[in-house]
Structure 1
Amino acid sequence: MITDWHTLNREPSLPGLYLRAATRRKITGTTLPDSGLRCWVDVDPQRLAAYRNVCGYADNGLLPPTYPHILAFALQMQLLTAKDFPFPLLGLIHLSNRLRVLRPMGAVNRVRVSVQVQNLQPHAKGATFDLVTTLGDQLGSLWEAESRMLCRGVKLEGEPLEQVLDSTLPLSEVAHWKAPSDIGRRYARVSGDYNPIHLSAASARLFGFPSAIAHGLWLKARTLAALVDHLPAASLEIMVQFKKPVRLPSEVTLLASAAGSSGDLRLISAGELEHMTGHWRPLA
C-alpha cells in the first residue's frame, strides 16, 4: 500500500479531537484509509520529567523507550478520528505493542513523528489493525512501533490469525509495585490519554468495566523502567501482549529473565492472574 502523507504545521489540539471521538460511535466501513500524518514535534523537558516520574524512569539523558508514544499521541488521535477512518475510537482495545529503538535517543529536542494504519485482519471478535508510528530526526529514523488494535463487531472474510508469545526462559521476580486508584488520572495528565475507562470507577462503568483499569502503555513503561539494567540503549525490539486488565487499585509482580541480550517478561497479580507477557530481543 502506498501511503498518502499529509504534513501538519503543528500538533493537533486534543480537546476538539476528544469531542469528535465522543460523537462517533458507529462502524462506517471495512477499509482502512491510505493516508498518513506527519508533524515535527518539540520535546518539552517539563512534560518529559513528569512522565519519568509517573512511570518510574530515572533521568539518564535518554528519552525513555516508551516516550515516543506520548509525542505521537495527538497525531494518532487525529488519524483515528478522521472521517475516512471507519471505526469508532472509543471502544478500541489495545491487544499488543511492539517497539524498536533504532538509535540511542539522547539529546533529542525535536523529532518528526509519522503515523498511519495498516494490516487489517479478521479476528474472532471483530477485526484488528496496526497503528504504526515512527520517530526520526535530521539524521534519519530513531524509533518505530506498531500497536495492534481490536474493533469488536467488524465482519471480515478470512480466518483469524492468532498471535501468541510464549516465554522460553526461566522467569524470576524482578519487581513488585502498586497501581494506585489515581494512576489512570496521573498518567492521563502526562500522556494526554483521557480514555474514561482509565480515569475512575464511575466513568469506567459507563463502558462496561466494574472499575477503572490501568493504561496498557503505562504498564509497559513501568515494566521497562524496572528492567532498565537489562536493556541496551538501542538496536532493541520490545514486544508485549496485553492480557487481563489491571483493575485499580492493584498490586502487580514483574517476572523476567535475561539471557545475554534477550529476555522474557510476565506481569501478574494475586492468583497468578496474567496481565502482560512479552520479550526483548536485539535487532538483526
Structure 2
Amino acid sequence: MAIHWQTLTRNPDLPSAYLKAAFNRKVTGERLPELGLRCSLSADPRHLAAYRERCGFGEGGMLPATYPHVLAFALQMHLLTDKHFPFPLLGLVHLRNRIQVLRPLGGVAGVRVSVHAQNLQAHEKGVTFDLVTQVDDPLGPLWQEHSTMLCRQARIEGLSQPVQAPAQPAEPALVAVHRWYAAADTGRRYARVSGDYNPIHLSALSARLFGFPTAIAHGMWSLAQTVAALRERLPRSNYQLAVEFHKPVRLPSELILSASAAGLDGQLALHGRDDLLHMSGTWGPVAQ
C-alpha cells in the first residue's frame, strides 16, 4: 500500500479529535486509508519532567523509550479520527505493542514524527490493524512503534487470519524485580501527561458505559512503568521491546513485575492479584 503523506505545520489539537470520536460510532468502510501524517515536533521539558515523574522514570539524560508515543499521540488521534478512517476510535482495543529504539534517545528537538496504519487482518473478535509511528532526526530513523489495535465492531469478508506463530521455547526463570500500587485515580493522572482521556480509564462511572465494572489502567502506563523499572536491564539502543496486553488492570490494583536477568535478550511478565497475567513481553536486538 502506497502511503500518501500529509505534512502538518503544527501538532493537531486533541479536543477536536475527541469531539469527532464522540460522534463517530460506526464502521464506515473495509479498507485502511492510504494516508500518513507527518509533523516536526520537539519534546517540551516541563511536559517531559511531568511524564518522568508520573511513570517512575525520575530524572535522567536519556529520553524514556515510551515517551515518543506520547509525543506522537495527537498525530495518532488525528489519523484515527480522519473522515477516511473506517473504524470508530471509541471501542478500539490495544492488543500488542512493539517499540524499537534504533539509536540512543537524547534530547529530542525538531524531529519528524510520522504516523500511518497498515496490515489489516481478520481476527476471531473482529479485525486488527497496526498503527505505525516513527521518529526521524537528520541522521535518519531514531525510534519506531507498532501498536496492534482490535476493532470488535468490524467483520470484513475475504480477510485471512494471520498464521499462528510456532510454539515458543520454555520460558527462562523470571524473578520479581518491582512491585507497585495502581491507585484508583491512576488513569486520570496518566491522562494529564499522555493526553489519552479514553473514558474507560478515568472513573468507574465512565468505564461502566463501555462495559467495564471499574476503570482500567492505560496499557501504555503499564508499559512505561515497566520500562522505568527495567531501565538498568535494557540496552541503551538498537533493541526492541515487544509486549502483549492480556487482562486489563482494574483500578485500584497491586502489580508485580517479573523479568529475566539483564542482557541483550530477555523476557518480562506483569501480574496482578491472584497471579492474573496483565502483560507479557520480550526484548532483544533489532534485526539488521
What's the TM-score, normalizing by structure 1?
A: 0.97
Q: What corresponds to 2:139 in structure 1?
A: 139
Which residue does 2:16 correspond to in 1? 16
Alpha-carbon distance in structure 2 between the residues aligned to 1:54 and 1:70: 13
Please tell me whether residue 172 in structure 1 is matched to residue 175 in structure 2: yes
Distance (whole Å) between structure 2 residues aligned to residue 165 and residue 38 of structure 1: 38
Cross-structure match for 2:6? 6
Q: Deviations over 1:53-99 (max 9, x none)?
A: 11000222111000000110000000000010000000000000001
For 1:107 and 1:132, locate their aligned partners in 2 and report how far apart those are by CA, in whole Å. Answer: 22
1:164 shift after superposition: 8.4
Determine the C-alpha separation between the residues in 1 that align with 2:159 and 2:108.
Answer: 43
Per mean C-alpha deviation after superposition, the further-off stretch among 116-125 and 134-143 is: 134-143
Partner of 1:91: 91
Partner of 1:45: 45
* Structure-to-structure mapping, 1:67-216, within 5 angstroms: 67-156=67-156, 157-161=158-162, 162=164, 168-216=171-219
| Number of residue equivalences | 284
Residue identity opposite 2:130 in structure 1: D
Name the CA distance, whole Å, in 2 between partners of 1:80 and 1:155.
Answer: 18
Contact 1:32 1:117 in 2 (8 A): yes
User: Unaligned stretches of 5+ in structure 2?
Assistant: none
Superposition TM-score, scaled by structure 2 size: 0.96
- Shift, 1:165, TM fit: 8.8
Q: 1:98 to 1:38 in 2, by over 3 A?
A: same
How far is 1:233 from its partner? 1.1
- For 2:228 and 2:179, the matched residues in 1 are separated by 12
Q: How does 1:240-255 map to 2 (within 5 A)?
A: 240-255=243-258
State the Cα distance separating 1:193 from its structure 2 match.
Answer: 0.3
Task: Note the C-alpha offset of 1:141.
Answer: 1.1
The alpha carbon displacement at 1:163 in A equals: 6.0
Give the 3-state SS of the residue equivalent to 2:260 in structure 1: strand
* SS class of match (1:220): helix
Q: Distance in 1 between matches of 2:72 and 2:203?
A: 25
Quick one: distance in 2 between partners of 1:3 and 1:21? 23
Q: Secondary structure at the match of 2:76?
A: helix
Kept in 1, the 8 Å contact 2:233–2:262? The answer is no
Q: Which amino acid aligns with 2:161?
A: P
Kindly indicate whether the alpha-carbon contact (under 8 Å) linking 2:178 and 2:258 is maintained by their aligned counterparts in 1. yes
Is contact 2:43–2:107 with CA below 8 Å preserved after alignment?
Answer: no
- Post-superposition shift, 1:168? 2.4
1:104 & 1:174 partners in 2: Cα distance? 24
One-letter amino acid matched to 1:185: R
Aligned-pair identity (%)? 58
